Amino acid sequence: MRPLIAGNWKMNGLTPQLAEIEAIATCVAETPPFADILICPPSTLITRAVQVAAGRIAIGGQDCRKEIAGAFTGGISAEMLRDAGASTVIVGHSECRQHYGETNALVAAKAKAAMRAGILAIICIGETKSQRQEGKALSACGDQISGSVPEGITSSANAIGYEPLWAIGTGESATHEEIAEVHAHIRQCLVARFGAEGKKVRILYGGSVDPINAREILALPEVGGVLVGGESLKTADFEAIIKAVSAKA
């Protein structure tokens, strides 16, 4: 399975930062990695990012509404993302679940919207610090898989993003044992629900991924790529993470 290295810029990026996408796209073109490369900039940059990337890397969106269109001021539909040139959308990110109160059902509806629009989905799940401390990490992730992943999300082009909430932006990454355990559990949940098709979905790890820990994380069983936050904003660091995929190859 070809790994996916995905960068989530979150609410960062103005016109000058398009130069970062150009630099990453050039690096990928000059030394093709054994991985698919995706950057999800803010929606204001998507169309220009697609132009700058020129097919060398994929560009995605960070969220979408479940509706096609309507009176939802500030909302962006999956169809709008596709129209802007995005190939993928992140749904259910921990920050959206925490700050905007997104439920599993809403995340599943957004993933269905991506399917409807003909773009791919990265469906994010992950446990809180208290759930981890109480020994409930696996059950919490299993519940989110059950509630957030709709039927039909079984292509290797789509992905599950495992993000322990306590590791997002904290500099504290899960241990290798914790990552391997949860990824194995996610795979078991997918196979139990979808059968052989459940083996095709890539499972990404996200949570303070950096150039130092990326190689070892990517080499772990059932890790089909990484979802990178702040480090994807820095060309040198993101390129180093991309090059780390050679360990997986």
Q: Is 163 a catalytic residue?
A: yes
Q: Which residues of 179-210 are buried (b: 16+ CB within 10 A; e: fewer)?
A: bbebbebbbebbeeebeeebeebbbbbbbbbb
Q: Of the listed 20, 79, 163, 222, which one is catalytic? A: 163
Q: 158's torsion region: left (phi>0), alpha (psi -120 to 50) or beta?
A: beta
Sequence-separated (6 or more) residues with CB below 8 Å from residue 138 = 181, 182, 185
CA–CA distance, 112 with 217 (Å, rounded to integer) = 30
DSSP state of 140: H
Q: Of the listed 79, 93, 95, 127, which one is catalytic? A: 93
Q: Is 99 a catalytic residue?
A: no
Sequence-separated (6 or more) residues with CB below 8 Å from residue 134 = none
Tell me the three state secondary structure of residue 36: strand
By CB atoms closer than 10 A (0-12, 13-18, 19+), residue 16 is exposed
Task: Say if residues 29 and 56 touch (Cβ distance below 8 Å).
Answer: yes
Residue positions annotated with a catalytic role: 93, 163
